[in-house]
Chain A
Amino acid sequence: MAKPGLLVVLLAAVLLMGCTHAEESSIAPLTPTAGRVDPGLGPGTRALSSGPGYKGSPSWSPDGTRIAFTVDGYVVDGPTTSGESRRWTTKDFVATDTEWTSEETLTILGAASSSEREAGSSLYRANAGEGSLALQRIAKGVLAMSPIPGEDTLVFALASGTRGSELALTRNGKTSYRVHANSTIEGRVSALSLSPDGDEAVMAVRPRGHPEMSELRTFDFRQDEGHEVARLEGDREVVGTPQWTEQGIYFVAGKQTTSLDDDSSEPLFELYRVPADGSAPEPAPGVGEDFVASSIRVSPEDDRLAVIGRLNPKSPANLYVLDPAAKKLEAITANEDMEIKTDPDDLAWSPDGANVAIIARGTPSTEPEVRTEPADRLLRDFYNLYEIPVSEETAR
């Protein structure tokens, strides 16, 4: 009776053979051509653009899948993963700011011609997919703008009279606008942003007749009332756009002409806070007394502040995130050899608050530089956009 035993052994052998297979090794995924990692700005960094061009004013689309920015004045946008970019204006257009007002609509502050540039900027609306680079002008003589997140609505400041300003509103993708009653301001607005609830605006203003002064003003759209929050004297000015957080209004200010550092002509600006109770401005708590600020942007949840600055005038520029409630400044990049662009509008939060877009390049050489890639694929040689992830501690 050896046959049943043989059958059992054979059956077990077949089952064993059928259930085993050669050990597999995982196959690494291909590196995408877009979004290449640049080690100069730390782990997790992804490039959002490449090639030559002076880039600025990044703005993430509401769903976070695209990012718009200016290149040598004209406006383009591209997917944040990979794919072709789109041009929104002709190459002779000079834009100073771009903001998404819907997934398909960009609002652009700039000038379409040299004659218009001399007269000041205009506000334009551009729609994706029209293919003709056609812009619809909303208003002339526009000084600053700020979209209301989640709405196809934009608040902007218009030049009024010789040295005045007033606030206006455009809604629902229309090219018409309405000037807000009682919003006349004695001075020129240079920057504008909104409070977390969208009911108030904070503005940097050059007062009429006082070119050496700089004011911080608010305007309450419900009460139709404006207030002076702070006045800076002695040639100090508010730089860039003030940002309204849950812990108060933050702004960068200093003397444009100050140059304490022999190695750099970059002026030394400080970060200030107007506390939520409306008391006098103070150096922003938590950043350190030697900190030199360049540009700031509040997070989509209004609870964090992205700051491009230097720990001291001699240290390299880096991206930091300030938690105003905890008064804690966290370094997001540990950059040593990249030049991070420090213009006031050169950083933007992604809509989910997980990333910040900045613009940076390697230090240009004074000798010819030879590369083995086509120019449009080069990253460090030109100013390019990078997506910087914020850490888990700061991403809430």
Chain B
Amino acid sequence: MRGVAVWFSGAALAFLLTAGVFLLLANIATIPSEKSLAPEPPEAASQPVVELELNADQLASLKPEPDQNLNLTVRNENSTPLSDVNVTLSVSSENTALSRSRYYRQMVEEVPANGTADIPFDFNLSEPKQRVTGRPASEPAREILEIKATTPDGISATKTVILPP
């Protein structure tokens, strides 16, 4: 009888010790889970970072005419060079009923590490000949320049310029 009791106590002790160890391991494994759920920043520090810079004086001198010029600067904020950066400029009207949009594109072969590359754009900013009907005369539509630089890895920077009428 005593032997049965010893065997029973031993088995129960072994079960409890095993269960305790498993629970301890389970709790230890879940402790850092909330922190690891924090979202990654959109652009990790190790990835190339591209920036666009515009000249305020040049923007102020733009006129609603053909043959306008704008020198963009693409800045590489990474310690390795960037190659084949695609830079696009679109010219559109604030009046979305007008079908006119003009697109311009240039490829920058290399932007040095922690350096810049200047890209000149020549473009047409003349006003459309289309009749404007969907907005009052007191609300002349402004011109919008949308500039985007994109690396082959898909990293991009955007600048939107709204020009006064």
Q: Are A114 and B16 in contact (CB under 8 A)?
A: no
Q: Does B119 have its Cβ within 8 Å of any Cβ on chain A? A: no
Q: Which residues of A, 1-39, contact B by the 8 Å Cβ criterion? A: 3, 6-7, 10-11, 13-14, 17-18, 20-22, 24-25, 27
Q: Does B40 have its Cβ within 8 Å of any Cβ on chain A? A: no
A383 nearest CB across to chain B (Å): 9
The one of B23, B94, B163 that contacts A368, using a Cβ cutoff of 8 Å: B163
Q: Collect the chain A residues with CB atoms within 8 Å of residue B34's CB.
A: 22, 24-25, 27
Q: Collect the chain B residues with CB atoms within 8 Å of residue A72's CB.
A: 95-98, 134-135
Q: Does A375 have its Cβ within 8 Å of any Cβ on chain B? A: yes
Q: Which residue of B lies closest to A23 (CB)?
A: B34
Q: A27-B34, A72-B97, A368-B163 are in contact. Are A10 and B158 (CB under 8 A)?
A: no
Q: Does B4 have its Cβ within 8 Å of any Cβ on chain A? A: no
Range, interface on chain B: 35 or more
Q: Which residues of A, 62-103, contact B by the 8 Å Cβ criterion? A: 70-74, 91-92, 94
Instruction: Identify whether the interface residues of A are mostly helix, strand, loop, or mixed.
Output: loop
Q: A10-B13, A11-B16, A375-B146 are in contact. Are A94 and B133 (CB under 8 A)?
A: yes
Q: Does A378 have its Cβ within 8 Å of any Cβ on chain B? A: yes
Q: Does B161 have its Cβ within 8 Å of any Cβ on chain A? A: yes
B89 nearest CB across to chain A (Å): 13
Q: Does A373 have its Cβ within 8 Å of any Cβ on chain B? A: yes
- Looking at the complex, which of A217-225, A226-234, A359-367 is the stretch in contact with chain B? A359-367
A-side interface residues, number (CB < 8 Å): 44
Q: Which residue of A lies closest to B144 (CB)?
A: A375
Q: Collect the chain A residues with CB atoms within 8 Å of residue B30's CB.
A: 21-22
Distance of A365 Cα from B131 Cα, bound (Å): 25
Q: Does A52 have its Cβ within 8 Å of any Cβ on chain B? A: yes
Q: Which residues of B, 110-165, contact A by the 8 Å Cβ criterion? A: 131, 133-136, 139, 141-142, 144, 146, 148, 157-164
The one of A7, A22, A74, A366 that contacts B16, using a Cβ cutoff of 8 Å: A7
Q: A18-B23, A73-B135, A368-B62 are in contact. Are A7 and B158 (CB under 8 A)?
A: no
Q: Does A374 have its Cβ within 8 Å of any Cβ on chain B? A: yes
Q: Collect the chain A residues with CB atoms within 8 Å of residue B133's CB.
A: 73, 92, 94, 114, 117
Q: Are A22 and B27 in contact (CB under 8 A)?
A: yes
Q: Collect the chain A residues with CB atoms within 8 Å of residue B27's CB.
A: 17, 20-22
Q: Does A372 have its Cβ within 8 Å of any Cβ on chain B? A: yes
